[in-house]
Structure 1
Amino acid sequence: MTGDISTYRDALTSYLRLVTTAKEVHIEILQRLSGGAIQENWLMVVQVSDGPYQGAQRWVLRTDALSSVPVSLSRAQEFAVLRVAYDAGVKAPKVLWCCQDRAILGRDFFLMECVPGIAAGHRITNDDALTPDRAALVAELGANMARLHTVKPPHLALSFLPPPAADPALASVMTYRGYLDALDVAAPVLEWGLRWCEQHRPEITSPCLLHRDYRTGNYMIHDGHLSGLLDWEFTGWGDPREDIGWFTARCWRFAGPRREAGGIGEIDDFLHGYATVSNAVITRHDLIFWQVMAHLRWAIIALQQADRHLSGQQTSLELALTGRMLPELEIEILALTKGECYA
């Protein structure tokens, strides 16, 4: 298996003829999209001769990178999650086909419709022309998240997901402490943050389906509106405030660090949009724990990604540079906890 799926163009063409039931399929463009340190996304511009997909089609092929992180879903699982979310009214790409026949690409993959727009966080948070009505956009993002959170366990189509933890906050602390312990690094600030979270756990609330990477950079904006939420490989059951804490964490605000709602707008507008769909009452104070946990989680993922590079598992400048973000994340953890950690 190689990292360049363009070498499998003939096999992909045959597969597309099969699933589209078309006599002829021509792949005009097969181009890897930017991003995707954990998964790969390839734009496909395809001409289909006949059948239900006749004409020019723009699809995205999503497959595994040559290495992954421990908490990633498989492509078949991510496909199932996307289908459930789409059916719940979440703005997300419509999935088409999932292939687990490794004779095609040498790895699992699925195809979905290409969502129009731009996802680059540094541009979305810096260019007013892309977000002319910031308040409306963040309210839209809040409502979209709330629609995802209407999906509750148990769910037959998502039976592969681990059952929700009895105490999601404590489970998060123990999970990331385990990941940190597995790395050969000294990280006293992260240990501090984990202990703080252990001592400041919020009250338990009803679990729901979480995206777990709902942030600026992982959704598409088109004509000033949300057009689709991307990258679902971390989905699971948990506390709805976890998703909101991740979205509002400073580490995902890019060029808008003072705008709490993803670097786009104000958190009150986001929570107002969320409340148009959900009956849950969520305040700023409720989010502090999950914002601390967001920075801890991202710091540990950054260390894991750097380790992928340093170990030789996957040589990548992007992965190496991700590991260099640790000090900035540690500063925010200390700022949020304000020294309130108990032995």
Structure 2
Amino acid sequence: MGISVDELSAGLARVCARVGLGALSLAPQRLTGGAVMESWRFACGDETFVLRRAPSLAFMEGRPYSHSTEAALIEAARAKEVTAPQVVAVLEEADGLGSGFIMRALPGTADPKVILACDDPAGLLKQAARDLARIHSLRQADVPEGVPVMDYLAAIADLKAQFIDAGGDRPIIALGLKWLEDNCPPEVEPVLNHGDYRMGNLLVEGSGLTGVLDWEIAHFGDRHEDLAFGCMAVWRFARYDRPALGLGSIEDYIAAYEAEAGVKIDPARFRFWTIYRTVWWAMGCLKMAAQWRSGADRMLERVVISRRTSEQELDLLMLLEDESGHGARVLPLKKIPRLLSPQGVAQIDELAVAVSEWLGTIKDKLSGHDRFQLAVARNALGILAREHGNFAYLDGMGDSDLILRGEAGLHDPAFHAQLRVDALAQAAVDSPKYPALAVARKKWTGEE
């Protein structure tokens, strides 16, 4: 599974010799995070670099463009003074490392917990708005061929196809898809979208932006999409109260962006792309399990991220119910059905807790990516422990079909209330610490 450090070191030695970086002086170390690609830090002489690679060649199948195109995109952005890393080498087949490229390492951290505690979040928000405006100044003539231009209706149809392929049995996602079909705006002149511009992909030192990372889904489309994505609840992390990147208000973010870009932002388009990207990320989470099952990437993190779909369902329902006519009312919630558990022997939840507790005893013996994976493993065990015996899954396929045909929706208070029950229950199992869960619970039940 994966590539060994020895294989990686040998391959990197070949690449570094080929492009004149010198001999390795620090073996590659896996960096934490990265829901899609792997990142490895290493050094040649006194200089530090980062290798960005796909976990397998199979993982690149069906992706819109190659790593060589992504590398050229980053360099085009640097030419527009975007704070992006310098690419020094693109992997070749003879290197034996698969698909990827090497960048000079930049100072700072991408850890949201550290960044959101910075001394000047308002100043950092302005820097983020500045760089996003510079990215959006790029046009098709500025980048290599092959970077896709988004067709809005086709993108919605693709999400719907993914939903059906995944089982089509999650009513809240079905509500989102139907809303997108009914509210799709006309297309505008496309600009380069980073595609993943949010906390976690910004490198920061102190209160200064030092790098914009992870360009693999850049595309041409509506600038509102990039702006909205960074303001989704999931990317605020612990600062739910600061909706723009977890740093400040959406109003301040947009004002800084408008001043830099010289354009006016349309609130209706911003809302559309907020809902679109919430559905998009819900499907992205859902697909993680399929990638794991296929063998393209057997990382533990894939299956755990798949359970974060419920976070997006919670957020999506709160977004959509603003138009339902009774979204602000506390609707009566039915009790969550419980399953009877056999008596006597240790239960699944007890076994999961026992293994998690043992893993906790070896935490201090691990470092780097191994320590990160241990935390992911304990999260997975926590899901098992919370889920066992708590509630029965409801078959949502029939409801989803009705929603997609326009025959059911939030106009029915009883149906709306049941969706709230389901969203609260599933998120409480999958992500009990998700900040939006407490917000939704208070909004929908009046309980703290």
Q: What is the aligned partner in structure 1 of residue 301 from structure 2?
A: 318
- Between the aligned partners of 2:52 and 2:203, the Cα distance in structure 1 is 16
Distance 1:314 1:184, change over 3 A: farther
Q: Which of 78, 81, 87 pairs up with 1:86?
A: 78
- Between the aligned partners of 1:8 and 1:326, the Cα distance in structure 2 is 33
Q: What is the aligned partner in structure 1 of residue 40 from structure 2?
A: 42
More strand by share: 1
Question: Counterpart of 2:113 in structure 1: which amino acid?
Answer: H
Check if 1:142 corresponds to 2:132: no
- Between the aligned partners of 2:14 and 2:3, the Cα distance in structure 1 is 20
- Between the aligned partners of 2:224 and 2:251, the Cα distance in structure 1 is 14
Conserved? CA contact 1:5–1:105, under 8 Å: no
Matches within 5 A, 1:1-343: 2-20=2-20, 25-47=23-45, 56-66=46-56, 68=59, 70-71=62-63, 73-100=65-92, 102-125=93-116, 127=117, 131-155=118-142, 157-162=143-148, 164-165=149-150, 168-338=151-321, 340=324, 343=406
TM-score by length of 1: 0.87
The structure whose Rg is larger is: 2
- What's the offset of the Cα at 1:207? 0.5
- Between the aligned partners of 1:135 and 1:283, the Cα distance in structure 2 is 22
Q: What is the aligned partner in structure 2 of residue 53 from structure 1?
A: none
- Between the aligned partners of 1:331 and 1:159, the Cα distance in structure 2 is 38
Question: Counterpart of 2:282 in structure 1: which amino acid?
Answer: A
- What's the offset of the Cα at 1:246? 0.4
- What's the offset of the Cα at 1:285? 4.0
Unaligned runs of 5+ in 2: 325-402, 407-448
Secondary structure in 1 aligned to 2:187? coil
Distance 1:145 1:72, change over 3 A: same
Q: What is the aligned partner in structure 1 of residue 410 from structure 2?
A: none
Question: Counterpart of 1:34 in structure 2: which amino acid?
Answer: T
- Between the aligned partners of 2:64 and 2:244, the Cα distance in structure 1 is 25
Distance 1:308 1:15, change over 3 A: closer
Conserved? CA contact 2:39–2:51, under 8 Å: yes
239-248 or 308-317, larger mean C-alpha shift: 308-317
- What's the offset of the Cα at 1:244? 0.6
Question: Counterpart of 2:9 in structure 1: which amino acid?
Answer: R
- Between the aligned partners of 1:250 and 1:134, the Cα distance in structure 2 is 17
Task: Give per-residue Cα distances to partners, 1:115-162, cap 9 Å, x unaligned.
Answer: 11111123323x2xxx2111111111111101000001244x421113
Distance 1:31 1:142, change over 3 A: same
- What's the offset of the Cα at 1:312? 4.4
- Between the aligned partners of 1:149 and 1:276, the Cα distance in structure 2 is 13
Distance 1:152 1:114, change over 3 A: same
- What's the offset of the Cα at 1:314? 2.9
Aligned length in residues: 324
Asked which structure has the greater RCO (Cα within 8 Å, sep 6+), the reply is 1
Conserved? CA contact 1:138–1:266, under 8 Å: no
- Between the aligned partners of 1:318 and 1:229, the Cα distance in structure 2 is 23
Question: Counterpart of 2:214 in structure 1: which amino acid?
Answer: D
Identity of aligned residues (%): 27
- Between the aligned partners of 1:105 and 1:36, the Cα distance in structure 2 is 22
Secondary structure in 2 aligned to 1:244? helix
- Between the aligned partners of 2:24 and 2:310, the Cα distance in structure 1 is 49
Distance 1:246 1:110, change over 3 A: same
- What's the offset of the Cα at 1:83? 0.9
Q: CA RMSD in A?
A: 2.1
138-147 or 170-179, larger mean C-alpha shift: 170-179
Distance 1:320 1:263, change over 3 A: same
Unaligned runs of 5+ in 1: 48-55
- What's the offset of the Cα at 1:71? 4.1
More helix by share: 2
- Between the aligned partners of 1:255 and 1:72, the Cα distance in structure 2 is 33
